Amino acid sequence: MHGFAYRNGTLHCEDVDLEGLANEYGTPLYVYSANTFRDHYRRLDQALEGVDHEVAYAVKANSNLSVLRLLANEGAGFDIVSGGELFRVIKAGGDPKKCTFAGVGKTRGEIEYALKHGIYSFNVESEEELRYLNDVAADLGLIAPAAVRVNPNVDAKTHKYISTGKSENKFGVDFERIADLYDRAATELPHVQLRGLQMHIGSQLTSVKPFVEAVEKVAPLATVLKEKHGIEFWSIGGGIGIVYQDALGAGSIDWWDSQAEQDRPLTLAGYGREVVPRLRNLGLKILLEPGRAIAGNAGVLLTRCLYEKQGSAKTFKIVDAGMNDLIRPALYEGHHEIVPVKEPGSERKVVDVVGPICESGDFFCQDRELPEFGPGECIALMSAGAYGFVMASNYNTRPLPAEILVDGSTVSVVRKRQTLDDLIAAEL
Ligand code: LLP
């Protein structure tokens, strides 16, 4: 389910008309549906029923304080990748003891900060980092809880920039070297407590098969580590893909629902059904680190059409959002469904929707047949709730857009639009 649908001729987020929001707060504008975040979190939690588990939301997907607060209130844990993300979780009222810290390049400052706040586990990505963690903890007279990320060398069959579980990726420690590393760490690193095991094979996976393959490959290793080293948890990472194509149409039939399953390659319930039975008898706490599955379809980016330019080869709809606001199409050839906010008629045209940035990669779609819309009209780039605002930049000295959280009929500005003064405030 997601909270976006046409009602009375305009696209709504829950009970709120998006045309009205665009008029009041300007464009480009990110709009999020609070109930969609809640719904996705709860469905994931349910999907893992039957095994001791925790859903640790991947903060990187959407780190707005209000989003984190909402998920903390649901009982979520958090997977963080920087000191900055831990700072956000704490500010939002999240519990550091429910935080896992991923990433290949943690600094001393970040490690010290996380140690002092008593996070649940450092998910370590190399032997070198494990040794460094031990040294930093020793200097503070503390014991660092840790898990090593295993790279299972499984093909996630996703875009090469977001595939992480193959040997040629920079992530984790080779499967074959993990057991030996735990043995050595247990004797050589007294300031590290080996608490768990972690893996994450990639993002936007649209089939459950690679997850199953990775779980089946790594489960015997997890069992050995539990018996030998008393580990208590196994984080199986995030990566569950979402619907980007026809996100609005599919959303209206409640696409996470099991009834719609034959139309979708992967649902949360289907994921649970395949994965949970393979984890149930391990006697380990299972952590899941979803980002996109919770946030992706919970947000849209609203933008207004400025001009329609008729070139000799193409029709360009030039809009007021650019690749600096939503970089996924430029960076991963990511597909975002584009729909007019005013419910369209039957007229359609093949167009490129492009932004104002001075780069040819600044497009939201190319040669796509879309419902007709013209200058002055607002469109929604769907499924922009994950890896949208968080990857936005000030490129071309463009202020960051505002973010709005809708909860039923309640509208909250959860981040103000940057001003021109904000843009230069830190410059000396
Ligand atoms: N855990 C770890 C260790 C990760 O590296 C990631 C994502 C996640 C969990 C969450 O993955 P998710 O459930 O969201 O797929 N910017 C890209 C996606 C980058 C994902 C990075 N790691 C995009 O827009 O597609």
User: What is the 199 CA–ligand 1 centroid distance (Å)?
Assistant: 12
CATH superfamily of 4-31+297-424: Lyase, Ornithine Decarboxylase; Chain A, domain 1 (2.40.37.10)
- What residues have CB less than 8 Å from 409, skipping those under 6 apart? 14, 15, 16
What type of residue sits at position 392? A
CB 333 within 8 A of CB 75: no
Measured by CA distance, the residue closest to atom 22 of ligand 1 is 203
CB 273 within 8 A of CB 208: no
Q: Is the domain 34-295 a CATH 3.40.50.720 member? A: no
14 known ligand binder: no
Overall average pLDDT of the 303-332 stretch: 97
- Among candidate residues 277, 269, 292, the one with its CA nearest the CA of residue 200: 292
Q: In angstroms, rounded to a whole number, what is the distance separating the alpha carbons of residues 203 and 295?
A: 13
State the pLDDT at residue 72. 98
pLDDT digits (tens, 9 = 90+) for 50-60: 999 999 999 99
Q: CA neighbours within 13 Å on the CB side: how many for 290?
A: 28
280 known ligand binder: no
pLDDT over 60 (residue 414): yes
Overall average pLDDT of the 291-307 stretch: 98
Q: Which tokens hold the place of 229?
A: 């080293």
Residue whose entry in the numeric block shows the structure tokens 């991923």: 102
Q: In angstroms, rounded to a whole number, what is the distance separating the alpha carbons of residues 20 and 209?
A: 43
- What atom of ligand 1 comes closest to residue 164's alpha carbon? 5
Mean confidence (pLDDT) of the chain: 94
Residue whose entry in the numeric block shows the structure tokens 């400025």: 306
- What residues have CB less than 8 Å from 194, skipping those under 6 apart? 146, 147, 148, 182, 185, 186, 225, 229, 230, 231
What type of residue sits at position 100? T
Backbone angles phi, psi at 346, to 5 degrees: -90, -10
Tell me the three state secondary structure of residue 359.
Answer: coil
Overall average pLDDT of the 184-191 stretch: 98
State the pLDDT at residue 258. 47
User: Which sign, positive or negative, has the C-alpha torsion 85, 87, 92, 98?
Assistant: positive
- Among candidate residues 50, 43, 39, the one with its CA nearest the CA of residue 286: 50
Q: Would you list the DSSP string of 216-254? A: HHHHHHHHHHHHHH---EEE----B----TTHHHHHHT-
Most informative mutation of 43, 57, 60 for ligand 1 (most atoms within 8 A of CB): 60
State the pLDDT at residue 396. 98
CB 415 within 8 A of CB 328: no
Q: How confident is the model at residue 163 (pLDDT cuts 50, 70, 90)?
A: confident
State the pLDDT at residue 167. 75
Give the chain's end-to-end CA distance (angstroms, integer).
48
Where would I find the H helices in 79-190? Answer: 83-91, 108-116, 127-140, 175-188
- What whole-number percentage of the chain has pLDDT above 90? 89
pLDDT over 90 (residue 370): yes
State the pLDDT at residue 252. 47
Active site residues: 358
- What residues have CB less than 8 Å from 133, skipping those under 6 apart? 106, 111, 122, 124, 144, 146, 191, 192
Q: In angstroms, rounded to a whole number, what is the distance separating the alpha carbons of residues 62 and 57?
A: 10
User: What is the 237 CA–ligand 1 centroid distance (Å)?
Assistant: 9
pLDDT digits (tens, 9 = 90+) for 67-85: 999 999 999 999 999 999 9
Q: Would you list the DSSP string of 384-411? A: -SSSSGGG---TTT-PPPEEEEEETTEE
Residues within 6 Å of ligand 1 by CB: 58, 61, 79, 102, 162, 200, 203-204, 237-240, 289-293, 328, 332, 386-387
Residue whose entry in the numeric block shows the structure tokens 């996976």: 205
- Name the E strands within 102-183: 121-124, 144-151, 173-174
User: What is the 201 CA–ligand 1 centroid distance (Å)?
Assistant: 10
pLDDT digits (tens, 9 = 90+) for 88-144: 999 999 999 999 999 999 999 999 999 999 999 999 999 999 999 999 999 999 999
Q: Would you give the distance in Å from CA 52 to the centre of its chain? A: 23
> Could you give the ipTM of this predicted complex?
0.99
Torsion of the alpha carbons at 270, 275, 280 and 285, rounded to the nearest 10? -110
β-strand partners of 412: 405
pLDDT digits (tens, 9 = 90+) for 332-366: 999 999 999 999 999 999 999 999 999 999 999 99
Q: How confident is the model at residue 2 (pLDDT cuts 50, 70, 90)?
A: confident
Instruction: Let me know if the fold of 4-31+297-424 is the same as that of 34-295.
Output: no
Q: How confident is the model at residue 259 (pLDDT cuts 50, 70, 90)?
A: very low
Burial (CB count <10 Å: 0-12, 13-18, 19+), residue 397: exposed
| pTM of this structure | 0.96
